[in-house]
Amino acid sequence: MQLRLMAVHAHPDDESSKGAATMARYVREGVQVLVATCTGGERGDVLNPKMDSPEVKENIAEIRKAEMAKAREILGVDQAWLGFVDSGWVENYDPADISGLPEGCFAALPLEVVSEPLVKLIREFKPHVIITYDEEGGYPHPDHIQTHRVSIEAFDAAGDPDRYPDAGQPWQPLKLYYHMGFTKERVIALHEELLAMGQESPYGEWLENWGDRQDKSARITTRVPCGEFFELRDDALRAHATQIDPDGWWFRVPLSVQQKKWPTEDYELVRSLLDTTAPEDDLFAGVRPLADVKG
């Protein structure tokens, strides 16, 4: 029976910068992968100076939909829009205070309202594994933090017939992971390799200013080998042309360096209905023998 993976993301482009190589690998191994995109990215800025124009800004919602279509084709994933409106960036955002958010936006709505569409999608798609953001949203954008909260709520509720009874027949996913991206351990490894090669590192100032900011390296339970799909990941990211400068910071570390020094995408297992042993190298560790039983 086919394995199924769901990735829950805040905006179009997040799926291509967080776990994209993992998804590309699993798709090519026959896993069915569905990206759930919570908002349309309507309040996103144009971050690529080559695309920055009044016309693009005026049509940003439709453009980002078209970019998403290109990215999902490159990755080979399916994708569903949950239909909520982007909340926009809020400096020093406090999730306990939503007074500064636009009315009716994703992060300003009650948890049960924004969770029900995801519960419904989980019950329809029946994923064995879900990946999403940690409690800080990966970074503290209101929509990322809300995506975390919604993912936890939906994972816990989807298998309970008494919760969200109008959202379809219950289905309980087996594992939930947080994507762990720029850990200090990874940044140092890439930084030191570039310096050893006599090349400039984009991480020098970042590491100097790291300070007391928490490093989440120790939280990683699962490292998925997927270096051969980094090029596809980057192609998908470049498809989001309004969001990514192809000559910018994101692409300054050569793929060969990434594939040599850090050829994995990393995760923290935070919910499991299975007995598993860390470290893992597969999001479906423990799931594969049960797939036929779960259907």
**Residue among 3, 63, 61, 64 at smallest CA distance from 29:** 3
Please state, for a pLDDT cut of 70, what percent of the chain lies above it.
Answer: 98
Q: What is the pLDDT of residue 295?
A: 45
Q: What is the pLDDT of residue 249?
A: 82
In this prediction the pTM is 0.95
Q: Give the type of residue at 269.
A: L
Determine the 3-state secondary structure of 37 from DSSP: strand
Identify the structural domains of the chain with CATH numbers, from first to last: 4-182+216-287 (3.40.50.10320)
Q: What is the pLDDT of residue 289?
A: 84
Whether residue 293 has pLDDT greater than 60: no
Per-residue pLDDT reduced to its tens digit, 231-265: 999 999 999 999 999 988 889 999 999 999 999 99
Please state, for a pLDDT cut of 90, what percent of the chain lies above it.
Answer: 83
179 is in an annotated binding site: no
Rounded Cα–Cα distance for residues 80 and 295 (Å): 22
Neighbours of 288 (CB within 10 A): 11
292 is in an annotated binding site: no
14 is in an annotated binding site: yes
Per-residue pLDDT reduced to its tens digit, 102-138: 999 999 999 999 999 999 999 999 999 999 999 999 8
Rounded Cα–Cα distance for residues 280 and 295 (Å): 23
